[in-house]
Amino acid sequence: MNSSPMIKVEGLTRCFGDLVAVDHLDLEIFVGEVLGFLGHNGAGKTTTVRLLNGVLTPTYGRAQVLGLDPAVDGATLRRRTGVLTETPSVDERLTGYENLEIFAELFGVPRAEVEGRIAELLDIFQLTERAADRVGEYSRGMKQKLALARALIHRPEVLFLDEPTSGLDPVISRQVHDLILEQSRIGGHTVFLCTHNLAEAQRLCDRVAVLENGKLVALGSPAELARELWKGLRLEVETIIESMPVAVQALSALPDVFDVTFEENRPIISLGLNRHSQVPNVVTHLVGAGVPIYQLTPKEPTLENIYFALHEDNHAKETA
Protein backbone atom coordinates (compact mmCIF):
# COMPACT_ATOMS: atom_id res chain seq x y z
CA MET A 1 0.00 0.00 0.00
CA ASN A 2 1.08 3.54 -0.71
CA SER A 3 2.24 5.41 2.41
CA SER A 4 0.14 8.46 1.53
CA PRO A 5 -3.40 8.19 2.96
CA MET A 6 -6.33 8.57 0.58
CA ILE A 7 -8.55 9.37 3.56
CA LYS A 8 -7.31 11.13 6.68
CA VAL A 9 -9.60 11.90 9.60
CA GLU A 10 -8.60 13.85 12.70
CA GLY A 11 -10.93 14.32 15.66
CA LEU A 12 -13.96 14.06 13.39
CA THR A 13 -17.11 14.69 15.42
CA ARG A 14 -20.74 15.13 14.43
CA CYS A 15 -23.50 15.99 16.88
CA PHE A 16 -27.24 16.05 16.33
CA GLY A 17 -28.43 18.07 19.28
CA ASP A 18 -27.33 16.17 22.38
CA LEU A 19 -26.59 13.02 20.38
CA VAL A 20 -22.92 12.51 19.46
CA ALA A 21 -23.16 10.34 16.34
CA VAL A 22 -19.42 10.36 15.54
CA ASP A 23 -17.10 11.01 18.46
CA HIS A 24 -13.55 12.30 17.83
CA LEU A 25 -12.74 9.79 15.10
CA ASP A 26 -9.09 9.47 14.02
CA LEU A 27 -8.44 7.29 11.00
CA GLU A 28 -6.16 6.90 7.97
CA ILE A 29 -7.01 4.77 4.94
CA PHE A 30 -4.49 4.07 2.19
CA VAL A 31 -4.40 3.57 -1.56
CA GLY A 32 -5.64 0.15 -2.60
CA GLU A 33 -6.84 -0.74 0.90
CA VAL A 34 -10.17 -2.36 1.71
CA LEU A 35 -11.21 -1.08 5.12
CA GLY A 36 -14.12 -2.73 6.88
CA PHE A 37 -16.19 -0.30 8.94
CA LEU A 38 -18.06 -2.35 11.51
CA GLY A 39 -20.55 -1.49 14.20
CA HIS A 40 -24.10 -1.96 15.43
CA ASN A 41 -27.02 -0.01 13.98
CA GLY A 42 -26.65 3.57 15.15
CA ALA A 43 -22.90 3.23 15.79
CA GLY A 44 -22.12 6.12 13.42
CA LYS A 45 -21.09 4.31 10.22
CA THR A 46 -23.52 6.00 7.81
CA THR A 47 -22.92 9.41 9.40
CA THR A 48 -19.19 8.93 8.84
CA VAL A 49 -19.73 8.11 5.17
CA ARG A 50 -21.85 11.25 4.77
CA LEU A 51 -19.18 13.35 6.46
CA LEU A 52 -16.47 11.93 4.21
CA ASN A 53 -18.49 12.76 1.10
CA GLY A 54 -19.45 16.28 2.15
CA VAL A 55 -23.14 15.50 2.56
CA LEU A 56 -22.85 16.51 6.24
CA THR A 57 -20.44 18.97 7.81
CA PRO A 58 -18.57 18.10 11.00
CA THR A 59 -19.32 19.71 14.33
CA TYR A 60 -15.62 19.45 15.22
CA GLY A 61 -12.52 18.01 13.64
CA ARG A 62 -11.61 17.65 9.99
CA ALA A 63 -11.23 15.16 7.18
CA GLN A 64 -9.37 14.92 3.91
CA VAL A 65 -10.42 12.63 1.07
CA LEU A 66 -8.28 12.57 -2.07
CA GLY A 67 -6.58 15.68 -0.74
CA LEU A 68 -9.88 17.57 -0.58
CA ASP A 69 -11.86 18.86 2.38
CA PRO A 70 -15.33 17.29 2.05
CA ALA A 71 -16.95 20.16 3.95
CA VAL A 72 -15.61 22.66 1.40
CA ASP A 73 -15.13 20.67 -1.81
CA GLY A 74 -18.00 18.21 -1.49
CA ALA A 75 -19.34 18.60 -5.03
CA THR A 76 -15.89 18.13 -6.58
CA LEU A 77 -15.12 15.21 -4.31
CA ARG A 78 -18.34 13.34 -5.08
CA ARG A 79 -17.39 13.26 -8.78
CA ARG A 80 -14.34 11.20 -7.79
CA THR A 81 -15.95 8.84 -5.28
CA GLY A 82 -18.59 6.15 -5.69
CA VAL A 83 -21.24 5.60 -3.04
CA LEU A 84 -23.62 2.70 -2.56
CA THR A 85 -26.03 3.35 0.30
CA GLU A 86 -27.70 0.60 2.33
CA THR A 87 -31.06 1.41 0.73
CA PRO A 88 -30.03 2.50 -2.78
CA SER A 89 -32.46 4.61 -4.76
CA VAL A 90 -32.83 3.83 -8.44
CA ASP A 91 -35.37 5.45 -10.73
CA GLU A 92 -37.99 2.75 -11.18
CA ARG A 93 -39.65 4.65 -14.04
CA LEU A 94 -36.56 4.26 -16.23
CA THR A 95 -34.89 1.19 -17.68
CA GLY A 96 -31.71 -0.23 -16.23
CA TYR A 97 -29.74 1.12 -19.18
CA GLU A 98 -31.24 4.59 -18.81
CA ASN A 99 -30.35 4.69 -15.09
CA LEU A 100 -26.72 3.99 -15.89
CA GLU A 101 -26.72 6.37 -18.85
CA ILE A 102 -27.95 9.29 -16.75
CA PHE A 103 -25.34 8.74 -14.07
CA ALA A 104 -22.59 8.35 -16.65
CA GLU A 105 -23.50 11.82 -17.89
CA LEU A 106 -23.76 13.25 -14.37
CA PHE A 107 -20.31 11.94 -13.47
CA GLY A 108 -18.71 13.13 -16.69
CA VAL A 109 -17.91 9.79 -18.33
CA PRO A 110 -16.69 10.69 -21.86
CA ARG A 111 -19.48 10.14 -24.38
CA ALA A 112 -17.32 7.84 -26.48
CA GLU A 113 -16.91 5.51 -23.48
CA VAL A 114 -20.48 5.49 -22.12
CA GLU A 115 -21.93 2.68 -24.24
CA GLY A 116 -19.00 0.35 -23.67
CA ARG A 117 -18.85 1.07 -19.95
CA ILE A 118 -22.57 0.40 -19.49
CA ALA A 119 -22.34 -2.82 -21.50
CA GLU A 120 -19.39 -3.94 -19.35
CA LEU A 121 -21.22 -3.35 -16.08
CA LEU A 122 -24.47 -4.89 -17.29
CA ASP A 123 -22.51 -7.99 -18.23
CA ILE A 124 -20.65 -8.15 -14.90
CA PHE A 125 -23.88 -8.00 -12.93
CA GLN A 126 -25.85 -10.23 -15.32
CA LEU A 127 -28.36 -7.53 -16.19
CA THR A 128 -27.84 -7.43 -19.95
CA GLU A 129 -31.07 -9.27 -20.79
CA ARG A 130 -33.08 -6.94 -18.53
CA ALA A 131 -31.34 -3.69 -19.52
CA ALA A 132 -34.34 -2.48 -21.55
CA ASP A 133 -36.88 -3.29 -18.81
CA ARG A 134 -38.16 -0.69 -16.38
CA VAL A 135 -36.44 -0.95 -13.01
CA GLY A 136 -39.82 -1.09 -11.26
CA GLU A 137 -40.06 -4.65 -12.61
CA TYR A 138 -36.72 -5.66 -11.08
CA SER A 139 -36.35 -7.83 -7.98
CA ARG A 140 -34.66 -6.36 -4.89
CA GLY A 141 -31.43 -8.16 -5.75
CA MET A 142 -31.46 -6.80 -9.30
CA LYS A 143 -31.98 -3.26 -8.02
CA GLN A 144 -29.03 -3.73 -5.66
CA LYS A 145 -26.84 -4.88 -8.52
CA LEU A 146 -27.92 -1.95 -10.66
CA ALA A 147 -27.14 0.48 -7.83
CA LEU A 148 -23.66 -0.99 -7.43
CA ALA A 149 -23.08 -0.77 -11.18
CA ARG A 150 -24.16 2.86 -10.99
CA ALA A 151 -21.64 3.55 -8.20
CA LEU A 152 -18.89 2.13 -10.42
CA ILE A 153 -19.90 3.84 -13.68
CA HIS A 154 -17.19 6.54 -13.49
CA ARG A 155 -14.42 4.31 -12.12
CA PRO A 156 -14.19 6.11 -8.76
CA GLU A 157 -10.89 6.43 -6.93
CA VAL A 158 -12.57 5.76 -3.58
CA LEU A 159 -15.57 3.50 -3.26
CA PHE A 160 -17.93 3.72 -0.28
CA LEU A 161 -20.07 0.60 0.04
CA ASP A 162 -22.84 0.19 2.62
CA GLU A 163 -23.99 -3.45 2.75
CA PRO A 164 -23.11 -4.09 -0.94
CA THR A 165 -24.38 -7.68 -1.03
CA SER A 166 -27.68 -7.08 0.74
CA GLY A 167 -30.42 -8.92 -1.14
CA LEU A 168 -28.03 -10.75 -3.46
CA ASP A 169 -27.87 -14.50 -3.93
CA PRO A 170 -24.61 -16.32 -3.00
CA VAL A 171 -23.37 -16.52 -6.60
CA ILE A 172 -23.76 -12.80 -7.28
CA SER A 173 -22.44 -11.99 -3.79
CA ARG A 174 -19.24 -13.87 -4.66
CA GLN A 175 -19.01 -11.96 -7.94
CA VAL A 176 -19.40 -8.67 -6.05
CA HIS A 177 -16.67 -9.77 -3.62
CA ASP A 178 -14.35 -10.57 -6.51
CA LEU A 179 -15.12 -7.21 -8.09
CA ILE A 180 -14.33 -5.37 -4.85
CA LEU A 181 -11.00 -7.18 -4.59
CA GLU A 182 -10.29 -6.44 -8.25
CA GLN A 183 -11.04 -2.75 -7.69
CA SER A 184 -8.50 -2.62 -4.85
CA ARG A 185 -5.80 -5.10 -5.87
CA ILE A 186 -5.67 -4.44 -9.61
CA GLY A 187 -7.30 -1.04 -9.98
CA GLY A 188 -5.61 0.44 -6.92
CA HIS A 189 -8.89 1.86 -5.66
CA THR A 190 -9.57 2.43 -1.98
CA VAL A 191 -12.71 0.72 -0.64
CA PHE A 192 -14.55 1.83 2.48
CA LEU A 193 -16.85 -1.08 3.32
CA CYS A 194 -19.67 -0.78 5.86
CA THR A 195 -21.10 -4.22 6.54
CA HIS A 196 -22.87 -6.34 9.13
CA ASN A 197 -21.64 -9.45 7.33
CA LEU A 198 -18.58 -10.34 9.39
CA ALA A 199 -17.63 -13.27 7.15
CA GLU A 200 -17.71 -10.86 4.21
CA ALA A 201 -15.47 -8.40 6.06
CA GLN A 202 -13.03 -11.16 7.01
CA ARG A 203 -12.72 -12.27 3.39
CA LEU A 204 -12.35 -8.81 1.86
CA CYS A 205 -10.75 -6.42 4.32
CA ASP A 206 -7.10 -5.59 4.90
CA ARG A 207 -8.08 -3.88 8.15
CA VAL A 208 -11.25 -3.37 10.12
CA ALA A 209 -12.35 -0.40 12.20
CA VAL A 210 -14.94 -1.09 14.89
CA LEU A 211 -17.29 1.66 16.09
CA GLU A 212 -19.26 1.63 19.33
CA ASN A 213 -21.62 4.56 19.92
CA GLY A 214 -19.65 6.79 17.58
CA LYS A 215 -16.24 5.96 19.06
CA LEU A 216 -13.49 3.97 17.40
CA VAL A 217 -12.77 1.06 19.76
CA ALA A 218 -10.47 -1.05 17.58
CA LEU A 219 -8.47 -0.77 14.37
CA GLY A 220 -6.24 -3.34 12.71
CA SER A 221 -6.16 -6.45 10.59
CA PRO A 222 -8.28 -9.39 11.79
CA ALA A 223 -5.06 -11.22 12.70
CA GLU A 224 -3.76 -8.25 14.73
CA LEU A 225 -7.04 -7.89 16.61
CA ALA A 226 -7.13 -11.62 17.27
CA ARG A 227 -3.68 -11.54 18.88
CA GLU A 228 -4.69 -8.57 21.00
CA LEU A 229 -8.16 -9.65 22.05
CA TRP A 230 -8.62 -13.38 21.78
CA LYS A 231 -7.35 -15.32 24.74
CA GLY A 232 -6.98 -19.03 24.53
CA LEU A 233 -6.77 -21.81 22.02
CA ARG A 234 -9.87 -22.89 20.12
CA LEU A 235 -10.17 -26.49 19.07
CA GLU A 236 -12.75 -28.21 16.90
CA VAL A 237 -13.53 -31.76 17.96
CA GLU A 238 -15.37 -33.90 15.44
CA THR A 239 -17.38 -36.69 16.98
CA ILE A 240 -20.86 -38.19 16.50
CA ILE A 241 -24.11 -36.45 17.40
CA GLU A 242 -25.06 -39.18 19.88
CA SER A 243 -21.88 -38.49 21.89
CA MET A 244 -22.40 -34.75 22.20
CA PRO A 245 -24.16 -34.76 25.61
CA VAL A 246 -21.42 -36.97 27.07
CA ALA A 247 -18.71 -34.78 25.45
CA VAL A 248 -20.20 -31.59 26.87
CA GLN A 249 -20.45 -33.10 30.37
CA ALA A 250 -16.90 -34.41 30.20
CA LEU A 251 -15.44 -31.14 28.91
CA SER A 252 -17.34 -29.00 31.40
CA ALA A 253 -15.63 -30.88 34.21
CA LEU A 254 -12.16 -29.83 33.03
CA PRO A 255 -10.75 -26.74 34.79
CA ASP A 256 -8.97 -25.43 31.69
CA VAL A 257 -12.02 -25.43 29.41
CA PHE A 258 -13.84 -22.13 29.73
CA ASP A 259 -16.37 -22.52 26.94
CA VAL A 260 -18.09 -25.27 25.01
CA THR A 261 -20.27 -24.36 22.05
CA PHE A 262 -21.70 -26.13 19.02
CA GLU A 263 -21.00 -25.39 15.39
CA GLU A 264 -22.25 -27.45 12.44
CA ASN A 265 -23.29 -30.29 14.74
CA ARG A 266 -19.82 -30.61 16.27
CA PRO A 267 -18.70 -29.44 19.72
CA ILE A 268 -16.21 -26.57 19.67
CA ILE A 269 -13.85 -26.59 22.65
CA SER A 270 -12.22 -23.38 23.88
CA LEU A 271 -9.18 -23.84 26.11
CA GLY A 272 -7.72 -21.23 28.46
CA LEU A 273 -4.86 -18.84 27.68
CA ASN A 274 -1.56 -20.55 26.88
CA ARG A 275 -2.99 -23.95 27.67
CA HIS A 276 -1.78 -25.76 24.56
CA SER A 277 -0.21 -28.29 26.91
CA GLN A 278 -3.71 -29.31 28.03
CA VAL A 279 -4.68 -30.68 24.60
CA PRO A 280 -3.50 -34.24 25.40
CA ASN A 281 -5.48 -34.09 28.64
CA VAL A 282 -8.62 -33.09 26.74
CA VAL A 283 -8.19 -36.02 24.35
CA THR A 284 -7.55 -38.45 27.21
CA HIS A 285 -10.59 -37.16 29.09
CA LEU A 286 -12.91 -37.53 26.09
CA VAL A 287 -11.67 -40.99 25.18
CA GLY A 288 -11.97 -42.04 28.81
CA ALA A 289 -15.62 -40.88 28.75
CA GLY A 290 -16.25 -43.07 25.70
CA VAL A 291 -16.42 -40.19 23.20
CA PRO A 292 -15.08 -41.18 19.76
CA ILE A 293 -12.79 -38.51 18.28
CA TYR A 294 -12.57 -38.45 14.50
CA GLN A 295 -10.66 -35.19 14.19
CA LEU A 296 -9.12 -32.52 16.41
CA THR A 297 -8.38 -29.21 14.64
CA PRO A 298 -7.02 -25.90 15.98
CA LYS A 299 -9.22 -22.99 14.88
CA GLU A 300 -8.20 -19.41 14.32
CA PRO A 301 -10.68 -16.94 15.85
CA THR A 302 -13.09 -15.54 13.29
CA LEU A 303 -13.87 -11.87 12.90
CA GLU A 304 -17.21 -12.67 14.53
CA ASN A 305 -15.40 -13.97 17.61
CA ILE A 306 -13.25 -10.84 17.65
CA TYR A 307 -16.18 -8.48 17.14
CA PHE A 308 -18.21 -9.89 20.02
CA ALA A 309 -15.15 -10.02 22.28
CA LEU A 310 -14.65 -6.32 21.53
CA HIS A 311 -18.30 -5.57 22.19
CA GLU A 312 -18.26 -7.39 25.51
CA ASP A 313 -14.97 -5.77 26.53
CA ASN A 314 -16.25 -2.28 25.70
CA HIS A 315 -19.54 -2.92 27.50
CA ALA A 316 -17.65 -4.09 30.59
CA LYS A 317 -15.55 -0.90 30.57
CA GLU A 318 -18.64 1.31 30.25
CA THR A 319 -20.41 -0.38 33.17
CA ALA A 320 -17.34 -0.49 35.41
Residue 77 is predicted with a pLDDT of 94
Instruction: Please list, in sequence order, all residues whose beta carbon lies within 8 angstroms of the beta carbon of residue 304, skipping any fewer than 6 positions away.
Output: 198, 199
Q: In whole angstroms, what is the distance from residue 119 CA to residue 142 CA?
A: 16
Residue 317 is predicted with a pLDDT of 60
Segment 166-190, tens digit of pLDDT: 777 888 888 888 888 887 888 788 9
User: Do residues 88 and 106 lie in contact, with contact meaning Cβ atoms separated by under 8 Å?
Assistant: no
Query: What's the half-sphere exposure (Cβ side, CA atoms, 13 Å) at 232?
Result: 16
Three-class secondary structure of residue 54 per DSSP? coil
Residue 304 is predicted with a pLDDT of 80
Delineate the domains of the chain, giving CATH numbers in brackets. 5-226 (3.40.50.300), 231-300 (3.30.70.100)
Segment 289-304, tens digit of pLDDT: 999 998 888 777 778 8
Residue 47 is predicted with a pLDDT of 94
Full strand arrangement of the beta sheet holding 295-299: 257-263, 266-271, 233-238, 295-299
Mean residue pLDDT across the chain: 87
pLDDT < 50 stretches in the chain: 1-2, 273
Q: In whole angstroms, what is the distance from residue 44 CA to residue 211 CA?
A: 7
Q: What Å distances lie between residue 63 and 139, 193, 215, CA to CA?
A: 37, 18, 16
Q: What single letter denotes the amino acid at residue 112?
A: A
User: What is the pTM assigned to this prediction?
Assistant: 0.79
Residue 273 is predicted with a pLDDT of 44
Residue 315 is predicted with a pLDDT of 58
Query: What's the half-sphere exposure (Cβ side, CA atoms, 13 Å) at 297?
Result: 11
Scored b (16 or more CB within 10 A) or e, 109-121 reads: beeeeeeebbeeb
